Amino acid sequence: MQKVQVYAVQPNGEFVLESPVPGCADNEGASPYSSADVISFLTRRLPRSLPVLRLLQLGPKTPGTLVITTPLPLRKPAEGREGQKDPEAVRPENVWTMLVVDRASHPATEIWSFSSLEMYHGAAPHEKEPQRASALPDTLKDQLPFSEEVLDAATAQLLGAIAHIPVTWRDTSGTKSPAERLADIRHTPGSPYCLFGNTHSTVAALLARADSGAGDLVLDPSVPYGKYVFPVPTTNQAGEGSVLELPEGLIWSTIGPDDYADVMAVNKIIRSPSTLAKLPSAAIREAAQRPDGKPGKAVAFAFAAGDGSVRTLHVDPAYRRRGLAKAVVARLLGMGLFAPPRNGPLAARPEVLDELLAENGEQAGATLAFAGIEESNTGSIRTFRALGGRWLWDVYWIYLDLDRARELAGEKPS
């Protein structure tokens, strides 16, 4: 049995230990962890930790949100160990894994992960160049630059953590292929088929390794999305200059219910109006009302997701090459939606922030955000590069069969 702890995240951000496994206390005696323990741990590992860290700090704390983690090295990473570029120096005892699970976010992403092996990004052949257009997880599993013992440990930890994700509904209607079952029930809340998003290429490769070519664990993987990380300007900086000045006939707005059908028509990742309703937005729309009296068409828009990302940037083809993409993103960044809390249970400890400031200078204090962009979306890539973004790694969205993961972990379905 993997040493795993399950925490329920409370509405105020506090962690409550739900399911301790005997023997899970690490050698620092830091069990159970507080939310400040985990937030400080993740803050020390920026920018690799950015999606999971911001999800905990900024995302909705819906009932049932879980943090599932193996023992963590809470102290500052030792020199020559984690975060260095020598994957051969990693030992099985240095491996750790964390999941954040929100099954209430269905049909959007329900699982986010962070693995110690992500800290060695750049060592594998597929990580040495900017994002690729079509490299799927199964093609990466033999490129991971770690020993078999380390890969076995990381895979076992990942499966052991996934085994603790709750399943509340199962299809007992008959025997079908995994793809057929996924097609039938992917939109059923609480089913064993769960969307695993923002999955670093290393973690996706570990899952493909566990799948062993059977195709019954990793289902329907997306193309890789390049993770572009960029600094968020202060509100004053975002509001300066002509970048926010709009051409005549256009006005600033936000996305409302009248726009949902148009948004979903141009972006297939948004899976339901309920998802859109949860996301703060910035939009540019035509000033003139439509013939039916509804507000003018939204010709450019972007959303702020709860994991600190800019999502669904779109500009109508008739309005492109007029600076609207950069303008709408700058508007969104200037709304103060990406700044992490500085106080309370989801803030990093002051000594951790001071430590990072001393080591990295003023840039350590910058708020970071990110966007996931397909390699073919050259327009969005240009926009985020113009805002200071740089590609750091690739991620995938995949469906997992949670029951199959339990079997591979040696657990019985719950």
Per the structure, the complete domain to which residue 74 belongs is given by 5-227+395-408
**Number of domains into which the chain is organized:** 2
| Domain match, 201 and 265 both | no
Q: Is residue 278 assigned to a domain?
A: yes
Confidence of residue 80 (pLDDT cuts 50, 70, 90): very low
Predicted pLDDT at 31: 63
* pLDDT tens-digit readout, 348-369: 999 998 888 888 776 667 799 9
| Domain match, 240 and 152 both | no
| Domain match, 404 and 386 both | no
Predicted pLDDT at 320: 93
| Domain match, 250 and 187 both | no
How far is CA 374 from each of CA 226, 262, 302, 325, rounded to the nearest angstrom?
6, 21, 16, 16
Q: What pTM was computed for the model?
A: 0.91
| Domain match, 189 and 276 both | no
Residue 29 has pLDDT above 70, yes or no: no
Q: Is residue 413 assigned to a domain?
A: no
Q: Is residue 133 assigned to a domain?
A: yes
CATH number, residue 370: 3.40.630.30
Q: What is the dihedral of CA 302, 337, 257, 383, to 10 degrees?
A: 0
Closest CA to 17 of 29, 8, 26: 8
Task: Using DSSP, state whether 229 is helix, strand or coil.
Answer: strand
Q: In the numeric block, which tokens belong to residue 119?
A: 């800290």
Predicted pLDDT at 293: 84
Helix%, strand%, coil% for the chain, nearest 5: 35, 20, 45
| Domain match, 200 and 75 both | yes
Extended beta strands in 44-203, E state: 66-69, 97-101, 111-115, 193-200
Q: Is residue 322 assigned to a domain?
A: yes
Q: Is residue 414 assigned to a domain?
A: no
Predicted pLDDT at 183: 80
| Domain match, 278 and 382 both | yes
Residue 238 has pLDDT above 60, yes or no: no
| Domain match, 56 and 176 both | yes
Task: Using DSSP, state whether 212 is helix, strand or coil.
Answer: coil
More confident residue, 259 or 182: 259
Q: Is residue 235 assigned to a domain?
A: yes
Closest CA to 345 of 9, 24, 59: 9
| Domain match, 303 and 162 both | no
| Domain match, 315 and 220 both | no
CA atoms of 297 and 274, how far apart (whole Å): 21
Predicted pLDDT at 328: 95
Of 12-26, 85-99, 154-168, the range with the highest mean pLDDT is 154-168
| Domain match, 48 and 126 both | yes
Long-range CB contact pairs, 339-342, < 8 A, 24+: 339/232, 339/367, 340/53, 340/54, 340/57, 340/58, 340/367, 341/13, 341/57
Predicted pLDDT at 27: 45
Poorest-pLDDT segment among 106-110, 224-228, 282-286, 345-349: 106-110
Q: Is residue 360 assigned to a domain?
A: yes
Confidence of residue 237 (pLDDT cuts 50, 70, 90): very low
* pLDDT tens-digit readout, 308-339: 999 999 999 999 999 999 999 999 999 999 99
CA atoms of 175 and 164, how far apart (whole Å): 25
| Domain match, 319 and 374 both | yes
Supply angle C-alpha 177, 180, 185, rounded to 5.
125
Q: In the numeric block, which tokens belong to residue 204?
A: 């996706």
| Beta-strand relationship, 193-200 and 66-69 | unpaired
Contact 79, 170 (CB under 8 A): no
